[in-house]
Amino acid sequence: MGLLDRLSGLLGLKKKEVHVLCLGLDNSGKTTIINKLKPSNAQSQDIVPTIGFSIEKFKSSRDGQAIIFVIDSSDRLRMVVAKEELDTLLNHPDIKHRRIPILFFANKMDLRDAVTSVKVSQLLCLENIKDKPWHICASDAIKGEGLQEGVDWLQGTSQNTVHLQPVFPFH
């Protein structure tokens, strides 16, 4: 670490990394979103289905300083399952008593059967989340649409640099 880095850190000018947990049901678009948010030279060209867990640099949910929860907005049948998983997450001991920001991506908005982000918010009862800042964005992960809005919101809530830690615990 150089002198300028130390000085800027002491003065509070250097932005810190925020470790973000990326969660959601299988096939919701988590891997595609993470891939799109990486620098272009680090993006994987071929995305194959993630089976089971995909964990990078993850120790526990206590390490996460923000959460991205990805929902397939075109899969109305599994919206109830997504709600159950969200409720489980919100009641987890490592999350429950923390004011951790949650960014929801209502993904796959480009598909014909997709519901709006407002409808996703209603189906997941997001208005009941009173103790954590949250935001929902409509997104199309394949085209990258809506992703920057979400990252901007996360950076605004934390005033730090967002560093993604992919974690996919929901099958």
| CATH number of the domain where residue 39 is located | 3.40.50.300
Q: Residues at the annotated binding site for Mg(2+)? A: 31, 50
Residues making up the binding site for GTP: 24-31, 107-110
In angstroms, rounded to a whole number, what is the distance separating the alpha carbons of residues 87 and 157?
A: 22
144 torsion bin: left (phi>0), alpha (psi -120 to 50), beta (else):
left
Nearest Cα neighbor of 90 from 63, 106, 67 is: 67
pLDDT given for residue 51 in this prediction: 45
Six token digits for residue 132: 């954590």
- Residue 126, in any domain of the structure: yes
Token pair in block for residue 167 = 């974690």
- Which residue's structure tokens are 């990486």? 38
In the annotated binding site, the residues are 24-31, 50, 107-110
Task: Please indicate, yes or no, if residue 124 is contained in any of the structural domains.
Answer: yes
Do 106 and 76 touch, CB atoms closer than 8 A? no
pLDDT on residue 35? 86
Q: Give the chain's domain count.
A: 1
In a domain? residue 128: yes
**How much is the pLDDT for 55?**
39
Q: What is the pTM for the complete model shown?
A: 0.77
Instruction: Give domain status of residue 1, yes or no.
Output: no
Q: Quick one: CA torsion of 11, 13, 14, 15, rounded to 10 degrees?
A: 130
pLDDT for 171 equals 43
Asked whether residue 146 is domain-assigned, the answer is yes
Distance of CA 45 to CAs 28, 32, 108, 149, 166, Å?
18, 10, 19, 23, 17
Helix 147-158 to helix 30-37 angle (10° resolution) is 70
Answer whether 166's CB lies under 8 Å from 19's CB. no
Q: Is 171 a member of any domain?
A: no
Domain range holding 134? 16-158
pLDDT along the chain (171 residues), means of 10: 48 62 92 82 51 42 80 96 95 91 97 97 97 97 94 78 50 43
Asked whether residue 116 is domain-assigned, the answer is yes
Q: How confident is the model at residue 60, as a pLDDT? A: 47
